[in-house]
């Protein structure tokens, strides 16, 4: 079976870092490139952080393109209260081994898609602005997108407002563009990712790998767990973003429900809330596969195996 070609749009971010490493470490994924956006930190920091994670993995061959600094409308909402001043506070990461590409994220996505020999999966783990601009300005890429898998929204409550999850809140207008695009979509929301907790046992298994990748991931989770404890009173941090990559590698880890999904773009109190019609009450045609439950043990086996696979070549040099 050929690996799945993936373009990853992200805002690293502690959990984005684990998603990047998962994509690099599992042979069933072919990571064609990374695009960055504002979100967990300013976009310039997100680009730098993606480059540092690639340097940790000794994979400077993966191109990185800088994208949106702000949403389609309004000011950027930044998650530094969770991710720290750098966006990936905690570990001492290496400096980048290669510069970002000279073109912006949208142009990079367009060219990568049109040049690809087969349709490509677009994974978005931050505010989905880059993908929305791509679809709005370059509709010709539609047939070259196998599906869009995004981390955002929830079937339940929010984590930024009582109603809205962070990525959806950060650019609901962009999410609306994606949800109404007619393309195949899978939604991985808080209801799913809050099952993916980096417990002390998980962090200990990262540190026990005894190579730079494992130790860095343990340090990432240490900082992430501290802020999640302080801000949300979580006993362990939910590692949201790798769930999107895991869904591609082994869809059986997740149960899915085909539903109509919309995002609120107007509400005074509910802007950014995702409306997920699990019971078909709105009489609207389904437009997304929605992640519901996670095989937690299988998920962490997948993630930890990939991290160890990335780390061994680094440790052996």
CA distance 37 to 66: 7
Give the domain extent around 62. 4-192+239-316
| Residue 231 host element (H or E) | helix 212-232
CB count in 10 Å sphere of residue 271: 18
Confidence of residue 309 (pLDDT cuts 50, 70, 90): very high
pTM across the whole model: 0.97
Contact partners, residue 223, CB within 8 Å, separation at least 6: 14, 84, 89, 90, 91
For residue range 228-281, what is the model confidence (pLDDT) as tens digits? 999 999 999 999 999 999 999 999 999 999 999 999 999 999 999 999 999 999
Q: Would you say residue 314 has pLDDT above 70?
A: no
Domain with residue 81: its CATH number is 3.90.245.10
Q: Does the residue 213 lie in any domain? A: no
Q: Does the residue 220 lie in any domain? A: no
- Decide if 240 is catalytic: yes
DSSP state letter for 140: G
For residue range 178-223, what is the model confidence (pLDDT) as tens digits? 999 999 999 999 999 999 999 999 999 999 998 999 999 999 999 9
Q: Does the residue 111 lie in any domain? A: yes
What integer best gives the mean pLDDT of the chain?
A: 97
Q: Does the residue 205 lie in any domain? A: no
Confidence of residue 317 (pLDDT cuts 50, 70, 90): low
Number of domains making up the chain: 1
Q: Does the residue 31 lie in any domain? A: yes
- Please, where are the H alpha helices in 66-171? 80-83, 105-115, 129-137, 166-170
Q: Does the residue 199 lie in any domain? A: no
Which of these is catalytic: 83, 194, 211, 240?
A: 240
Token digits of residue 105 = 């994220």
For residue range 275-308, what is the model confidence (pLDDT) as tens digits? 999 999 999 999 999 999 999 999 999 999 999 9
3-state secondary structure of 141: helix
Q: Does the residue 90 lie in any domain? A: yes
Q: Does the residue 99 lie in any domain? A: yes
């Amino acid at each position: 079976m050929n690996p799945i070609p993936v373009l990853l749009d992200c805002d690293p971010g502690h959990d984005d870092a684990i998603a990047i490493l998962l994509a690099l470490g599992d042979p069933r994924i072919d990571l064609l490139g990374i695009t960055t956006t504002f979100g967990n930190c300013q976009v310039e920091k997100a680009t730098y952080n993606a480059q540092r994670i690639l340097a940790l993995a000794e994979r400077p061959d993966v191109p990185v393109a800088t994208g949106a600094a702000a949403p389609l409308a309004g000011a950027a909402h930044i998650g530094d209260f969770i991710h720290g001043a750098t966006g990936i506070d905690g570990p001492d990461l290496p400096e980048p081994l290669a510069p970002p590409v000279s073109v912006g994220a949208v142009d990079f996505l367009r060219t990568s898609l049109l040049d690809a020999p087969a349709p490509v999966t677009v994974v978005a783990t931050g505010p989905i602005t880059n993908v929305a601009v791509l679809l709005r300005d370059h509709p010709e890429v539609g047939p070259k997108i196998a599906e869009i898998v995004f981390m955002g929204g929830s079937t339940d409550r929010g984590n930024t407002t009582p109603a809205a999850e962070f990525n959806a809140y950060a650019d609901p207008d962009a999410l609306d563009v994606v949800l109404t695009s007619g393309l195949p979509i899978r939604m991985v929301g808080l209801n799913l990712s809050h099952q993916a907790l980096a417990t002390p046992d998980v962090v200990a298994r990262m540190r026990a790998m005894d190579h730079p990748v494992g130790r860095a991931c343990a340090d990432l989770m240490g900082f992430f767990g501290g802020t999640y404890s302080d801000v949300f009173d979580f006993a362990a941090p939910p590692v949201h973003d790798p769930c999107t990559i895991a869904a591609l590698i082994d869809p059986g880890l997740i149960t899915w429900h085909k539903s109509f999904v919309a995002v609120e773009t107007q509400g005074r109190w509910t802007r950014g809330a995702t409306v997920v019609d699990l019971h078909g009450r709105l009489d609207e045609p389904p437009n997304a596969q929605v992640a519901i439950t996670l095989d937690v043990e299988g998920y962490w086996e997948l993630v930890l195996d990939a991290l160890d696979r990335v780390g061994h070549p680094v440790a052996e040099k």
